[in-house]
Amino acid sequence: MVEARQHQNGNESENRTSCWVHKDLTVTTKQIQALLTAARASGGKDECQVRLTGIEQEYWMVAEISRLGGYGFRGTVTVGDGSNQKGGKMGAGYVNLWKQRKRQQRKVAREEEGSSSNRPELAVFVLALRGTPVTKSMLYLCDNQALLKAVKRWVGEGGKAMLVGAPDADILLGAIEELRKRTTAGAATFLVNVKALRGEPANEEANIQADKAISGKDVPTERHDRTNRAVFTWQEPRRKGGTVSYEDRKSTWNSGV
């Protein structure tokens, strides 16, 4: 076992990084130093890279997306994610795993009517659909189950589905139109829900793109159109330690249009 420990002010940190190897394996000093360097590195999220050849192949082939058939899919494999950060800022980003790792990001507007994680998730789905040829089968992976439920209502026959009252009808309409084009062209579109925050590399990379959409200065903004919803704002008191602060709150009222 090779163990890397971080120290602060002469005291050992509670966090440890351990690397276990076979008892017959010879570990060189250079390899130990590389592990120590990696363990002490600081920064944001790792940009996970899926490698299906060489020594890493067996590792990725047991990842969740691979077990679902994602890495062996014979069409376009796209992973999308939406981000709703404090202050109501929303961003959407996706990565196409097979097309030279194509990436796109967009800021999502209309936060003055309130923000949610569902809106950027739906926006990135439309973005991914538009970035995929309508004649090519597509596997779309996301970690938002609400997106799958919203789209499922418009698949197959059944009761009449209406956009009236849908909170993000402007984006949902775009998704329906793109799906109709793909169906007409004979291309299959599969939506699969994967678990979030489990270290799945493709999902983590899509999450990075969504965060970059919010922080990026040159990232374009989409979905500006306002609805006729009335927006109410007020302040709620927050008491802590004998002091009172006020937090801005916001709510919308939908007239049904």
Task: Grade residue 138 by pLDDT with cuts at 50, 70 and 90.
Answer: very high
| 23 occurs within a structural domain | yes
Residue 113 CA to residue 251 CA, distance in Å, equals 7
Are 150 and 126 members of one domain? yes
Mean pLDDT, rounded, for 196-217: 83
- What is the CA angle 53-54-58, rounded to 5? 80
Q: Starting from the edge strand earliest in sequence, which strands make up the sheet with 90-96, in order? A: 189-193, 138-142, 76-84, 90-96, 102-108, 221-222
Query: Which pLDDT does position 252 carry in this prediction?
Result: 59
Q: Is residue 48 part of a domain?
A: no
Check if the beta carbon of residue 84 is closer than 8 Å to that of residue 115: yes
In a domain, 228, yes or no: no
- Domain annotation covers residue 256: no
In a domain, 253, yes or no: no
35-39, 108-112, 210-214: which is most confident: 210-214
Q: With respect to residue 243, please indicate whether it lies within any of the assigned structural domains.
A: no
Same domain membership, residue 180 and residue 68: yes
- Which candidate, 126, 229, 227, 113, places its Cα nearest to that of 171? 126
Domain shared by 178 and 204, yes or no: yes
| Same-domain check for residues 175 and 218 | yes
Same domain, 35 and 58: no
Asked whether residue 204 is domain-assigned, the answer is yes
Residues 120 and 147 in one domain: yes
Contacts of 185 (CB under 8 A, 6+ apart): 134, 135
**Residue pLDDT, tens place only, 152-190:** 888 776 567 777 777 788 888 999 999 999 999 999 999
The Cα 228–Cα 252 span in angstroms is 10
93/139 same-domain check: yes
pLDDT confidence tier of residue 249, bands split at 50, 70 and 90 = low
Statement to judge: residues 132 and 104 lie in one domain: yes
The segment with the largest mean pLDDT, out of 7-11, 82-86, 106-110, 131-135, is 131-135
Alpha-carbon distance of 151 to 153, in angstroms, equals 5
In a domain? residue 238: no
pLDDT for the residue 44: 62
Question: Quick one: pLDDT at residue 134?
Answer: 93
Q: Give the pLDDT score at 257.
A: 39
Instruction: Give 194 or 158, the one with higher predicted confidence.
Output: 194
Cα torsion for 192, 183, 147, 160, to the nearest 10°? -130
Domain shared by 153 and 91, yes or no: yes
Residue 34: domain span: 2-39
11 has a pLDDT exceeding 60: no
pLDDT in tens, 70-126: 888 888 889 999 988 877 789 999 988 876 567 888 888 877 777 788 889 999 999
Q: Within this chain, do residues 77 and 155 fall inside the same structural domain, yes or no?
A: yes
Both 29 and 79 in a single domain? no
Check whether residue 131 and residue 200 sit in a common domain.
yes
Percent of residues, the chain, with pLDDT higher than 90: 18
Q: For residue 102, give every residue at least 6 positions away whose Cβ sits within 8 Å of its Cβ, in sequence order, or none.
A: 95, 96, 131
5 pLDDT more than 60: no
Residue 78 belongs to a domain with what CATH number?
3.30.420.10
- pLDDT tens digit string along 45-70? 555 667 778 878 887 787 778 887 88
Structural domains in the chain (count): 2
Give Cα separations from 11 to 4, 42, 97 (angstroms).
Answer: 14, 19, 43
